[in-house]
């Protein structure tokens, strides 16, 4: 197989040829059909995050070592399966859930594999999609493409999942009834707008310093698009929201956006930070309890598993295990929309992993997920994700995923570049 590999932080990718691995046990080998380039790949390639005040947090500090075959938004076709990989077969096309954990620790058993301390993330800890082939450890991480093209489906794995999760963190009761503020109208910001609309959200005011992105935000259905550097930005946001926005989702994550996001929150409001631009934030501690605000960081999201939750936590845990077995056996019955975040559910389905309570709740969940899926599909036209395809023979990529690297680094000065 041929891979484009990061062999040293800060260095260009190198094309490397190696023997194509054969799947063992439950492993599934995909031939890559499309792989998205995520802004976080650029941080990975640089080898550090900007912590503000001149400090850096290196990937080495995170225990991430080169060589890395990046690419965590992967759509591919199965070319081989291990003897224990049930329910899938060569020729089928899937998008891979990349946020894989050890599967054994308490966090993983609780369904939060993306938070596992022994992460095995595809494209970060394990070889990812910048390659002709990708090994997925188990069929339970595969979601059928359905009618989507590989290029449409790949961004679900990070961009789609992340924005959906961010809205879940804000909470349905909030985003359905009150306007929220989205900081950054890049790929994630625009996808969030579309999702919000599909999830029957009240709408969002978008702030971005780039006039073109503000235009795109309005075209994508923003209630208003504000230049956060303008003198009257705060007032303009409040006017558009007819009060303070109920919550803020920050897809930039810079000093400026964090200050704006936390300053503008109403009492009891929530600031969800997703962007990795870099910087720091100083807060007066007494104001946290006085304003009762929540600051929440998040990356990506979990997989949904269907479980009956009617018998209390112990049984629910057993139910999760049962459900995991069921979904292992029938991966095709889950759709792409199975991706979701589990926080901020209403109490009756406080945990998306323990979903299913009443048939009505489950139908509602399914409907929301379907709408989310449709919104993402609709959005792809606007987002024009940078995708990389292999030629018909499955050889070298047609596009060098890092051909745009210089441009993208410049974009980091622009809100919402992620």
Give residues in contact with Zn ion (CB under 5 A). Answer: 38, 40, 101-102, 105, 108, 116, 158
Question: Which 8-state DSSP code applies to residue 352?
Answer: G
Q: Which lies closer to Zn ion via its Cβ, residue 129 or residue 144?
A: 129
Closest listed residue to residue 198, CA positions, set 220, 216, 170:
220
The secondary element (H helix, E strand) that includes residue 51 is strand 48-52
**Closest distance to Zn ion from the beta carbon of 40 (Å):** 5
**Closest distance to Zn ion from the beta carbon of 113 (Å):** 6
Do the beta carbons of residue 18 and residue 3 sit within 8 Å?
yes
Do the beta carbons of residue 280 and residue 415 sit within 8 Å?
no
Residue whose CB is nearest to Zn ion in the complex, by number: 38
CA 73, chain centre distance (Å): 9
Q: Which lies closer to Zn ion via its Cβ, residue 158 or residue 224?
A: 158
Q: Which lies closer to Zn ion via its Cβ, residue 55 or residue 57?
A: 57
Quickly tell me which residue has 């994550």 as its tokens.
253
**Closest distance to Zn ion from the beta carbon of 90 (Å):** 28
Q: Which lies closer to Zn ion via its Cβ, residue 107 or residue 414?
A: 107
Q: Which lies closer to Zn ion via its Cβ, residue 126 or residue 178?
A: 126
Do the beta carbons of residue 24 and residue 251 sit within 8 Å?
no
Q: What is the DSSP string of 243-288?
A: SS-SEEEESS-BHHHHHHHHHSPPTT-EEEE----B------TTHH
In degrees to the nearest 10, what's the CA dihedral of 20, 25, 27, 31? 40
Do the beta carbons of residue 30 and residue 133 sit within 8 Å?
yes
**Closest distance to Zn ion from the beta carbon of 387 (Å):** 13
Q: Which lies closer to Zn ion via its Cβ, residue 39 or residue 415?
A: 39
**Closest distance to Zn ion from the beta carbon of 405 (Å):** 16
Structure tokens at 151: 């290029």
Quickly tell me which residue has 């990046």 as its tokens.
70
**Closest distance to Zn ion from the beta carbon of 310 (Å):** 27
Structure tokens at 213: 């992105």
Cα gap 251→207, rounded to integer Å: 10
Q: Which lies closer to Zn ion via its Cβ, residue 262 or residue 303?
A: 303
**Closest distance to Zn ion from the beta carbon of 325 (Å):** 18
**67: cis peptide before it, omega within 30°?**
yes
Q: What is the DSSP string of 336-351?
A: GGGEE--TT--GGG--
Closest listed residue to residue 1, CA positions, set 129, 142, 143, 141:
129
**Closest distance to Zn ion from the beta carbon of 116 (Å):** 3
**Closest distance to Zn ion from the beta carbon of 112 (Å):** 9
Q: Which lies closer to Zn ion via its Cβ, residue 124 or residue 241?
A: 124
Cα gap 357→338, rounded to integer Å: 16
Q: Which lies closer to Zn ion via its Cβ, residue 73 or residue 351?
A: 73
């Amino acid at each position: 197989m041929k891979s484009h590999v990061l062999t040293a932080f800060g260095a260009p990718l190198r094309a490397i040829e190696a023997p194509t691995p054969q799947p063992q046990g439950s492993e599934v080998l995909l031939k890559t059909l499309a792989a998205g380039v995520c802004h976080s790949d650029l941080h990975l390639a640089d080898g550090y995050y900007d912590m503000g005040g001149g400090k850096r947090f290196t990937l080495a500090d995170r225990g991430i070592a080169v060589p890395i075959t990046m690419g965590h938004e992967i759509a591919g076709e199965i070319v081989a399966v291990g003897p224990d990989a049930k329910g899938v077969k060569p020729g089928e096309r899937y998008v891979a859930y990349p946020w894989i954990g050890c599967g054994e620790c308490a966090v993983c058993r609780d369904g939060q594999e993306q938070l596992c301390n022994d992460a095995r993330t595809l494209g970060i800890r394990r070889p990812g999609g910048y390659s002709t082939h990708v090994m997925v450890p188990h069929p339970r991480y595969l979601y059928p493409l359905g009618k989507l093209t590989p290029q449409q489906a790949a961004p679900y794995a990070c961009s789609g999942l992340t924005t959906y999760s961010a809205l879940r963190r804000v909470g349905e009761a909030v985003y359905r009834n009150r306007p929220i503020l989205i900081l950054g109208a890049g790929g994630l910001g625009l996808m969030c707008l579309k999702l919000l609309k599909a999830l029957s959200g009240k709408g969002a005011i978008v702030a971005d310093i780039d006039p073109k992105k503000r235009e795109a935000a309005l075209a994508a259905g923003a209630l208003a698009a504000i230049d956060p550097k303008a003198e009257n930005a705060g007032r303009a946001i409040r006017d558009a929201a007819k009060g303070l926005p109920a919550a803020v989702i920050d897809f930039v994550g810079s000093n400026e956006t964090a200050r704006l996001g936390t300053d503008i929150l109403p009492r009891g409001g929530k600031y969800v930070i997703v962007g990795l631009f870099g910087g720091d934030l100083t807060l007066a501690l007494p104001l946290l309890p006085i304003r009762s605000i929540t600051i929440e960081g998040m990356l990506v999201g979990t997989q949904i598993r269907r479980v009956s939750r009617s018998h209390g936590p112990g049984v629910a845990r057993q139910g999760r295990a049962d459900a995991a077995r069921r979904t292992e056996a029938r991966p095709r019955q889950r759709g792409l929309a199975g991706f979701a975040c589990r926080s901020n559910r209403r109490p009756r389905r406080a945990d998306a992993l323990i979903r299913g309570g009443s048939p009505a709740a489950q139908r509602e969940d399914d409907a929301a997920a379907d709408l989310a899926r449709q919104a993402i599909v609709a959005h792809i036209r606007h987002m024009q994700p940078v995708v990389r395809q292999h030629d018909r023979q499955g050889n070298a990529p047609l596009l060098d995923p890092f051909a745009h690297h210089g441009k993208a680094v410049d974009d980091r000065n622009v809100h919402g570049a992620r």
